A and B are shown apart, each in its own frame.
Chain A
């Protein structure tokens, strides 16, 4: 079993990587000078996905929502890392709830890509994988944290 401290560090690192990718996708949306590094095939085609109506939710690009989500996730996971064992339980719970909510969003976006647009965006898939990995890590550390007598 992975050590809790290691898992917390991994979670924070994944959130940071996700923040960078979401930042890139946001810049891509607002600045035409930013190049899109992605293949344009019949199945994998980031441009098609990112310019589709499904790429906008409540008037904002999904990339911006991702940026906000990962920004909060980085903050929460950093607090968990710093305050481990000294009253960080509430933050750990908040981070897990935040990630569960994002997982529902991931399922919606996967449905949009596969069922509506018919194309896959690799950058988006990377973000989805990061969120799912964070969910698994957080679930593992959460239950272990709750059992821990040190808390």
Chain B
């Protein structure tokens, strides 16, 4: 008589410690089964756990890779290898950007502002100081810089044709919401704005970003001269964004951490500018105050309502006066 039985419940089966009777036993004879019996090995759920885990991981990776390939294929098909059509900035966002209340400017102050580097050159066109911007659509640091630039420049003039944009989905701070200066125009009585978007924000089927604009030789000369040591660390030479105000004040790199833009839409960020207290609006406005101060320092302090505002006056005090 063989009387090997097993009890399976819950997480596993229990049988190895039961008395087993051999086929040729004599009554009363008993054989103790050890935990190394075949029955015990079969009952352990460990093999199942390992198997399920491996299958789940492999299935997840395969499913994820298929999903990613599908998204990339659809994206490439949608663009046809060319940059997608620019989406104009909705009126409510432009309004929010251009009507920041004085109280928000004052509250933002300059606490979170990156002070520019004094390079002491001069750059003007049509009798007005030039604000030069060099950037690219894919660049998340340019995405951050554009927010402060648009907010600051809107105090000195009028934008038309700005479009919505997001930084690269595959770079650091992916999909940072922003705008594009590409094909936009800016008119001002005080300054000349020269934006250069060197590349777009979407990769073509070959993985490269579409080339958009090239700096003029004069702009390139400024880049080579001031986006280089001793004005920037050697490792950051030639980096974007590069902003030069009147040839005198220069920013190279992100004015603030693009991470504060993460996961938000342009509309959501713009709607917080009125209060100026959000973790994204605070650095945007604070750096816009500093950029406004640099502009005021090179355009003769015009317009007075901007250049004499407390926050801009405070920012002017922080402007450096010596080359590094």
Contact = CB atoms under 8 A, between A and B. Distances in A.
A143 B45 contact: yes
Contact of A139 (B46, B60, B67, B172): B46
B68 to A, nearest CB: 5
**What bracket does the count of chain A residues touching chain B fall in?**
20 to 34
Interface in B42-57: 43-46, 49-50, 53, 56-57
Given A48-B170, A147-B14, A115 B56 contact: no
B16 A147 contact: yes
Interface string A125-139: 000000010011001
Contact of A51 (B12, B35, B63, B259): B259
14 contacts: A53-B175, A53-B263, A111-B60, A111-B63, A114-B64, A114-B68, A115-B64, A116-B67, A117-B174, A139-B49, A140-B49, A143-B44, A147-B12, A147-B16
Contacts of A56: 262-263
Interface string A94-110: 00100000010001001
A53 B173 CA distance: 8
A143 B46 contact: yes
Contacts of A45: 172
Given A51-B172, A56-B263, A115-B67, A146 B35 contact: no
A6 interface: no
Contacts of B171: 48
Given A32-B257, A48-B170, A142-B11, 12 more contacts: A51-B172, A52-B174, A56-B263, A103-B53, A107-B56, A111-B63, A111-B64, A117-B174, A139-B46, A140-B49, A147-B12, A147-B35
Given A53-B262, A139-B46, A147-B16, A114 B53 contact: no
A48 B175 contact: no
B17 interface: yes
A113 B174 CA distance: 13
A110 B56 CA distance: 11
A110 B169 CA distance: 17
B49 A135 contact: yes
Nearest to A106: B57
B86 interface: no
A84 interface: no
Contacts of B49: 135-136, 139-140
A110 B46 contact: no
Contact of A118 (B14, B170, B259): B170
B10 interface: yes
B170 A115 contact: no
Interface string B2-29: 0000000011101011000000000000
B78 interface: no
Contacts of B125: none
Interface string B55-77: 01100110111011000000000
A48 B262 CA distance: 12
Contact of A146 (B12, B46, B65): B12
A119 B10 CA distance: 39
A149 B46 CA distance: 20
